[in-house]
């Protein structure tokens, strides 16, 4: 099958999904619309006054953490014609705290002109002492396709997470990890320090060791060197301050320190790993980010928008860190999520990154292929560079959505299982500008690239999203890829 045939196939699937969704929407219009409120007597009124707000089900979570998310307060006047949309929006805000499995808002009519807002929640399980067995590679596909599912490239250990610590949505995390990457880490986050619940704090410290290190990129694939001895050691510390002065706006200021040592083996193989054959890199960094988050459900958004601005300065002139790294970067992210009808949704995600740096060490040259910054169809590759543009476009058709009860599970917080499945088709495109690494990897650098395909998304337990995709890259090479995104 050549490129044009594959493109026609994707377009046919896209059009078929659209037709199914339109048919479903036509049938849905004949059904009775059920409002979120259980008592419909208030619908004959033009407005209602909120007389009381009742919280149910928050056995551990403090009331003020929930009330912080609501823009409906006692004494507020509610226009009846906007009640459904307002209740849905507030329900999503409470759900997005990631403290509850289910959230329902019910408006109860109190004659003659008042109402009671009832918020019913089912809390999650918050304490997770569980074993670690995970991949050290960038994703599942790289582990399978590039390293033949080599079990020596896995990490194992114990991770202890206490979410909603003290009922204040605080988080404590302790990590003890061995295997391919040996790592020890402690993180503590408190979202609100003050009574007005606007300012927060987070700090973390970590130490890690590697006996296998990616020392270069060849043909857009990482080349590793391994040894019985430790090849890289790293110490990291981070202090973050946050401010949330509105419901949807977030400010973050982070101060970070990182010191990394590598063995002479690494610098011999690649003298530009830290530039100039240096065996260590010490960096102080300061970054600021602003986020405007209007998504309905953070874990798997279908409606709303997302905007984020990041500026970072690495190398602050502290303890001669400018000799190791002196960079400034700017990143912009914008995403739009639209409901085309009741079952069909469109997502447009865009990100741009610009780095100011005279010369770039290999250790800091990460553009596309790392973390969430990748094109579907290119999961097996990395594209190093200094700046990049990325656009991901997805059409989603909801196959089903339900909440199941598993009464046989002994722990109450695990009995409720939300599950939703979406059929997707997508078109991703990007561009990476690279000045320093084109001698070893230039197939996808400094040119427009794209990928496309179809897939199946599963959204379930504790905000876990699993993507099953069959994608093609620009050269028409296809493959089956799996990506995971967990909410724990």
**Listed residue (50, 163, 246, 133) closest to 413, CA to CA:** 163
Given this model, what pLDDT does residue 482 score? 85
Residues 6+ apart with CB under 8 A from 38: 106, 107, 108
Please give the mean pLDDT across all residues of the chain: 86
* Window from 148-157, 293-302, 371-380 with minimum mean pLDDT: 148-157
Mean pLDDT (whole number) for 399-408: 81
Residue 36 has pLDDT above 90, yes or no: no
Mean pLDDT (whole number) for 307-321: 94
* 277 within 8 A of 320, measured Cβ to Cβ: no
Given this model, what pLDDT does residue 413 score? 67
Tell me if the domain spanning 127-485 has CATH number 3.40.190.10: no
- Mean pLDDT is highest, among 128-132, 163-167, 359-363, 439-443, for 163-167
Question: What's the CATH architecture for 40-123?
Answer: Roll (3.10)
Given this model, what pLDDT does residue 24 score? 38
Confidence of residue 203 (pLDDT cuts 50, 70, 90): very high
CA distance 218 to 216: 7
**Listed residue (101, 146, 155) closest to 123, CA to CA:** 101
* Window from 4-8, 22-26, 306-310, 460-464 with minimum mean pLDDT: 22-26
Given this model, what pLDDT does residue 352 score? 97
**Could you give the 3-state DSSP secondary structure of residue 4?**
helix
CA distance 435 to 27: 56
The two structure tokens encoding residue 316: 């602050």
Confidence of residue 42 (pLDDT cuts 50, 70, 90): low
* Window from 38-42, 218-222, 286-290, 446-450 with minimum mean pLDDT: 38-42
Give pLDDT tens digits for 453-480: 999 999 886 678 999 999 999 888 888 8
Confidence of residue 446 (pLDDT cuts 50, 70, 90): very high
Cα 58 to chain center, whole Å? 26
Residue 43 has pLDDT above 60, yes or no: no
Residue 174 has pLDDT above 90, yes or no: yes
> Virtual CA dihedral for 406, 410, 412, 416, nearest 10 degrees?
-20
Task: Report how far apart, in Å, the C-alpha atoms of 335 and of each of 136, 169, 312, 343, 372 are.
Answer: 29, 27, 21, 20, 14
Residue 244 has pLDDT above 60, yes or no: yes
The two structure tokens encoding residue 265: 């083996």
Taking the domains of the chain in order of start, what are their residue ranges? Answer: 40-123, 127-485
Confidence of residue 15 (pLDDT cuts 50, 70, 90): very low
Given this model, what pLDDT does residue 420 score? 92
pLDDT above 70: percentage of residues in the chain: 89
**Which neighbouring-strand residues pair with 253?**
241, 288
* Window from 12-21, 59-68, 235-244, 381-390 with minimum mean pLDDT: 12-21
* Window from 35-44, 132-141, 159-168, 314-323 with minimum mean pLDDT: 35-44
Confidence of residue 41 (pLDDT cuts 50, 70, 90): low
Mean pLDDT (whole number) for 55-80: 92
């Amino acid at each position: 099958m050549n490129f044009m045939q594959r493109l026609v196939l994707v377009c046919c699937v896209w059009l078929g999904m659209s037709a199914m969704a339109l048919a479903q929407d036509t049938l849905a219009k004949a059904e009775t619309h059920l409002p979120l409120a259980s008592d419909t007597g208030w619908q004959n009124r033009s407005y209602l006054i909120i007389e009381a707000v009742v919280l149910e089900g928050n056995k551990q979570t403090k009331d003020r953490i929930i009330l912080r998310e609501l823009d409906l307060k006692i004494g507020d006047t509610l226009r009846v014609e906007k009640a459904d949309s307002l209740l849905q929006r507030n329900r999503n805000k409470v759900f997005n705290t990631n403290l509850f499995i289910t959230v329902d808002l019910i408006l109860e009519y109190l004659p003659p002109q008042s109402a009671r807002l009832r918020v019913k929640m089912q809390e999650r399980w918050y304490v997770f002492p569980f074993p670690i067995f995970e991949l050290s590679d960038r994703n599942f596909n790289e582990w399978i396709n590039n390293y033949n599912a080599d079990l020596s490239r896995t990490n194992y250990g114990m991770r202890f997470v206490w979410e909603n610590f003290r009922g204040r949505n605080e988080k404590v995390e302790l990590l003890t990890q061995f295997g391919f990457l040996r790592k020890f880490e402690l993180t503590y986050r408190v979202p609100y320090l003050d009574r007005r619940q606007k300012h927060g704090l987070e700090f973390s410290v970590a130490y890690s060791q590697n006996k296998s290190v990616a020392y270069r990129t060849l043909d857009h694939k990482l080349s590793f060197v391994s040894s019985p001895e430790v090849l890289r050691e790293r110490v990291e510390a981070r202090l973050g301050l946050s401010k949330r002065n509105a419901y949807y706006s977030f400010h973050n200021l982070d101060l970070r320190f990182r010191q990394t040592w590598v063995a002479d083996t690494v610098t011999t193989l690649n003298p530009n790993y830290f530039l100039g054959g240096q065996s260590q890199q010490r960096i102080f960094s300061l970054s600021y980010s602003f986020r405007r988050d209007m998504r309905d459900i953070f874990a798997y958004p279908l409606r709303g928008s997302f905007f984020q601005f990041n500026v970072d300065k690495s190398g602050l002139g502290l303890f001669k860190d400018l000799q190791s790294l002196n960079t400034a970067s700017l990143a912009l992210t914008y995403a739009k999520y639209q409901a085309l009808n009741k079952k069909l949704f469109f997502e447009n995600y865009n990100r741009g990154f610009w780095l100011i740096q005279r010369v770039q060490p290999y250790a800091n040259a990460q553009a596309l292929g790392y973390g969430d910054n990748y094109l579907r169809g290119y999961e097996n590759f990395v594209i190093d560079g200094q700046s990049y543009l990325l656009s991901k476009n997805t059409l989603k058709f909801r196959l089903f959505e339900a909440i199941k009860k598993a009464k046989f599970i002994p722990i109450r917080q695990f009995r409720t299982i939300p599950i939703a499945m979406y059929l997707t088709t997508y078109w991703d495109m990007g561009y990476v500008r690279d000045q320093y690494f084109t001698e070893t990897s230039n197939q996808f650098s400094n040119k427009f690239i794209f990928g496309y395909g179809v897939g199946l998304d599963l959204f379930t337990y504790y905000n876990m999203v699993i993507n099953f995709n069959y994608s093609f890259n620009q050269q028409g090479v296809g493959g089956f890829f799996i990506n995971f995104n967990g909410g724990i």
